[in-house]
Each structure stands twice: as structure tokens, then as C-alpha cells.
Chains A and B, each alone.
Chain A
Amino acid sequence: MLKDAVETKTTYEIIKDSAVEAGLTQLTPERIQTVILETLESETGPRLKAYVNMCVHCGLCSEACSYYLSNNKEPRFAPVAKVKNTIGEMIRKKGRVDNDFLRQAVQIAYTECNLCKRCVMYCPFGIDVAYLMSIVRRICHKLGITPQYIQDTAHSHAATMNQMWVKEDQWIDTLQWQEGDAREEIPDLRIPLDKNGADIMYSVIAPEPKFQASLIYQAAVIMNTAGVDWTMPSAPGWDNSDMAMYTGDSEIMGRVKRAHFEAAMRLKVNRIVMGECGHAFRSVYDVGNRWLSYKMPPVPVIHAIDFYYELISTGKIKIREKFKEPVTLHDPCNVIRGRGLMEKSRYVVNAICENLVEMTPNREHNFCCGAGGGVINCGPPYKTRRMINNKRKAEQIKETGTKVLISPCHNCHSGLEDICHHYELGMDVKFISDILYEVMEK
């Protein structure tokens, strides 16, 4: 049995967030109403109306949501309830909502929904609850009541074009540092910066140079061993992450994505390969591109899973000896439900590991990690509650009986580590590249 996560806090409460509180003091009822009505009028259309008016409150979406399942089926956590208690009320009251309502709306939209879209597959009408929650976040952003920690990352995007306040020289230094270290292992290894006309631009999220530089090392070894013609941009645009997408700051999202695409275009690469990150993929492949009026990304975007699949299946990377310990594999929403890479990720994991134990449910129906969609980025104030909300995920992982958990997504990775720690699962969370680097012929 799982250690009971609910022992510390059983009752539902609205968590105090200093940025939300500060934002609320600046608002007047008129301002709130104006922002809500203007956003609904100028940024939404018949889709939102249809979703909200058509929903027959059948409740079939409820069991899709791990929040609902983690909280003993408490109604407020069902997707339909989240819609009703946020955008539903805003529409019904024609924007005349008060601060208490907004506090609750912030908590629901930013911390009780990962925008994972699992419930979309459970609604007979295909109502996109993630879209509805995004509209709530958009309104909260415009009202200036975004949770503090995630807002800080959005500020970082705005000021530096990356998520972690990484300065340009730090970025280049980090790459050279990793190149230097890796050359002790592979003497002629390079991390080519700004190589014009390379086949691939490799992009990462800012937490990699900030505190997970070994991932860049591993990527460099994989690229060099496979003999890939690759490059990384030295100038802003190297970061593919995008928390502005999740705060509701579409304008900053657009700037960040433009910088990313333009970095690739400037370097005249054929395609962008990105590291094992889910939300960045969503942003580049599905959301940010649309804001910039690209139906599909202007430069082909390949997620790491897809890329490893290509390298292994074409024999560019050979496996020396498979990883022996049983592993389980988490299906991140943004690349599985968002890009259909479920069979490729299994191909890769089976190529590098001897024993893959599936989670149940899996593939498109996998439970969300509970961290993505910007939820983990809302930071420490919400962590205890997040752990309670992730109970179902913890059970699902534990049922596999494995000690190694592969998660090809950064947000999932961090969230799953929290879960493993909190529920004392004693599991090691790894990226595919952690194992691939270990078992490949170099």
C-alpha cells in the first residue's frame, strides 16, 4: 500500500500565492469584467460557446482525470467541474466575478489541470477541456494574477528568451565546458556552434544548461557517435521551452517561438531536433506555431524519441549491451497524445533495455505525470497539494514493480521524481538518453 499522502492535509483549501494576492489588490470589479468579456469576445469564438453550451453534464470525463481519482472521486476535481467552476461561471455571470472566485479559478486552471487532454478522449463530444482551461489562464494572465513561480519563468522568457535567466555567455560557456569534458571520453568530439547549413539544429530547454548539463554531454556523445551533422545556436533562440504558453502570455510565447524558428532558419538547417522535453514539443509543434500563424512548424521538428528511433533503426547507433534491470516507461502527454510517438518510444526502450514492464493504462491512455502543463512550475506553495493530487499516478507506477522509471520528458521527469520521493517508491527516474548513453557503442 502507498503511504497515505492525504494524512497531512485532507481538506481542500485555497493556497495563498503572493503574486496572485498582489495582483488581486490591483483589480476592480469593472476591470475584471472588462478583461473577461473582452477576452471572450476577441479571442474566442463559436468553439468555446459550443463546448460550454453543449456539455450535458454527463460526468463521463471524470474518471479520465487523475486528480479526480487521486482525491477519492471528489466532484470538484472532475474536468467538467473544473470547467463549471471557472470559465462556466465567468460566462454565466457575464464577467461579474469576485476575488474569491478568481483565487479559486487560478488554483484550478494552473494547478489542478495539466492540460494533458486525457479527458478529451473520454468525452463523447470531444470537448477540449485543456483548451477551456487555457482560456481561463489567458484571462488570469491578463488580469495579472498568475502564480508567482511560473510567472517568474515567463519573465525570464521575456527578458532573456530562455526560461532560466541563463545569460548568453553562460550558455556558450556551458556548451564549451560540456564539450571539453566529453573530449576526455571522445577526443574529437565537438559541439558545433552556429554551423551554417548543418542538417540538424539541436535545441534544449534552459534547465539543461542551468543544472542538468550532463544531458547536453550525453546528447553530444550520441550526435558524435552517430556521425550526425548538427549544430547548436549560440544566440537566443536555443531554448525551445515555453512557460509563457502555460501562463497564458501568448505574446511572449510568440516571441520565444519566433526566436527559436528563426535560429533554425538563420542556420539554414533542415530540421530541429529537440531534447527529451514534452511541453517544449507542444509549444513548437502545436501551440506556438499556431500563434505565429504557421499551420505546422515552418522547420520540421523532431522529438528526441523520434530521433533516437531513427538513429537506432538505421544502425547509426549500435547497442553494446542492453540495460538489464526491468524498467517501466511513462508516456508523456505532449509527445504521445500530442504526437503519437508511443510505438517509437517502445522500439527505442526495447532496443536499449532487456525488460520493459508496461504501466497500466498506457500509450494514449496513460495517466498524466501531474507535473506538466505548468503545474510543477507553480512552485513550492503548491507542492504538498500536488503530491496529494498525484496519488493515482504513484499507484500506477508502483504497480509495475520496477525500480527504474523512464520518462522522456523534463516536466514528467521532475514530477515523477517528486512522486517517487514523496510516496517512497524507491525508483530511479531516467531519461532515455541516460540509458542510451550508458549502453551504446561509443
Chain B
Amino acid sequence: MAESIAELIGRHPVLEGLSPEDVEQVAGCSHNIVAEMGEILFREGDPATTLYLIRRGQVSLEIHAPGREPLVIETVGDGSVVGWSWLFPPYRWTLTGRVTATLGAVAIDGSCLRGKADADRALGYVLMRRFAAIMLQRLLATRLRLLDLYGDGAGS
């Protein structure tokens, strides 16, 4: 292993530019994972414990409905992040995450990170700013897709 977990975190686009001290704090909660195509990373309803910084590969977020095929509502790929459910109670996954391209990711333990953020509010603020920016981007993308732009007639 050429790179330490701290190096991987410090170079990930989502946390790039964090101070070395903050990176060390995050690294203390993290470990490196690899997952193969088709693997279920997490399941809707299961306890949500982890945040994944995706280094390479792709995760599909699926919703299952009775009598219907599962629907892929979004994919998350290189340089992004998946998993917010660990942030807020009741800490359960709201979607199913399936690996659709071999995944290399940093898995961060949610309760560990919550604990550090609670203890070090400055760190918590920095992390929240990074996560909020991504959530805003996802929200905009979701709104755009609500328009069903390529459908049979704008909104109708």
C-alpha cells in the first residue's frame, strides 16, 4: 500500500484542502474498501453506519416498490460521496446502494465522525460545509429531473 488512508482522504475532491489535523481526525474513523460489481453496499431500512468517499467506480441508488422492477434513481461515481443517513436519526438507509462498477472507496464510520464533529465544532462546521455543497448540487439535479425535460411535454 503506497498511500496512507490520510493521503487518500486529503486528495479526495470532497475533502481536498482540509487541514492535515482535520484529515487525521477523519482518517481515524476510516478504512479503505473495495467492492465488486453487483455487491449490495447497503440496503434500504438497514442501520446506516457509513459514509463512502468514492475514489473510483460507481454506486447505483435504487428504490424498490412492490409489483415493480427496482428503479435506479441516481448513480454516484468517481470523486463523489454517498450516504447521508448516518448524519441524522434514526440512522437508517433510505435507499439501496448497489455497486455497478468496481468500487474503491474510503469508508468512514458515521458514529465515530459524529462524535469527533460534536467534540470539535470547527471540524464539524468544515465537514458540514463540504457535505452541504454536495447536497445542494444533488438537490438541483433532482429538481431538474423533476421537470422530466425529455418527456412528452414540459411538465405535462
Same complex origin of A and B:
no
